[in-house]
Amino acid sequence: MNCKSVISLSLALCLSVLGRGASATSISASQSSATVETRDLQTPPTQIIINHDAFPQDTSWRLTNAQDGTTVQEADSGTLQVERWATERWDVALPPGEYCWQIQDAFGDGICCGKGERDTQQRGSYQLIGPDDKEFVNSDSIDGGSFGSSSEKLCFRINDDFSVVRVYPVTVKVQHDRYGGETSWNIENNKGETEIAVQSTPEQSNTTVTTT
């Protein structure tokens, strides 16, 4: 074999190795692209369901961020122009965090009851279903739809795995003596971490302070 033949053989081997490497890279890129395309990148919705009474135009609701009180979504009174006894559903994509939902009735009698021939057969109700498809709020176990002008604030937390936990507000009432500035209190979670810490002030002496 002469030198020219050796050089030609070496070039052929190099091209062959490069060709195999390029082919493998191409397959890997194709597989990666397919994986990305099949991933569900959307946030699963939280469902708000209202079974209206005879006066849906009186009903409104508001969903807020529990941390700063900002409105996430709402339906004002008079905007729910649907038939009597109709069922409405809203799908709201909520990222993990804490939220509060409240339903209101402009007339002041909730949605449990109505006037008409179907009163004894059907009444209004509401429910919330989390992104994990599990119901976590149902009016039948809260107020039966008889909430007057407004229901209590129904607060909940959506975890990173999209499971939902109801969150209940805690009210702390402190009746101060004449040395209010010496009083302090805190609330800890089950890990021993302080969630809330409050230091009273001298101006609160001989007063009762309520914190929720």
Q: Per-residue pLDDT tens for 116-162?
A: 444 545 678 999 999 999 999 999 888 888 888 998 889 999 999 99
Q: How far apart are CA 131 and CA 25, in angstroms?
A: 38
Q: Tell whether 155 and 61 lie within a shared domain.
A: yes
Residues 5 and 102 in one domain: no
Q: Would you state the pLDDT for residue 122?
A: 66
Residues 59, 123, single domain; the answer is: yes
> 187 falls in which pLDDT band (50, 70, 90)?
confident
- Rounded Cα gap, residues 183 and 199, in angstroms: 6
Residues ≥6 apart with Cβ < 8 Å to 10: none
d(CA 115, CA 93): 35
What average pLDDT score do residues 52-76 get? 92
My answer on whether 14 and 53 are in the same domain is: no
| Residues 51 and 31 occupy one common structural domain | no
Sequence-distant (6+) residues with CB within 8 A of 83 are: 56
Three-class secondary structure of residue 179 per DSSP: coil
With 90 as the cut, is the pLDDT of residue 195 above it?
no
> Does residue 141 sit in the same domain as residue 198?
no
For the chain, the domain total comes to: 3
The tokens describing 136, both together, are 């976590």
- pLDDT of 167 > 50? The answer is yes
Confirm if 101 and 129 have CB atoms less than 8 A apart.
Answer: no
Q: Which residue, 60, 54, 92, is CA-closest to 74? A: 60
The pLDDT-based confidence of 209 (bands split at 50, 70, 90) is confident
Q: Which residue has the tokens 């909520």?
A: 94
| Cβ pair 119, 109 in contact under 8 A | no
Share of the chain above pLDDT 90, in %: 34
Same domain, 1 and 92: no
Residue 202 CA to residue 75 CA, distance in Å, equals 44
Q: Are residues 133 and 207 in the same domain?
A: no
Domain region containing 7 = 1-39
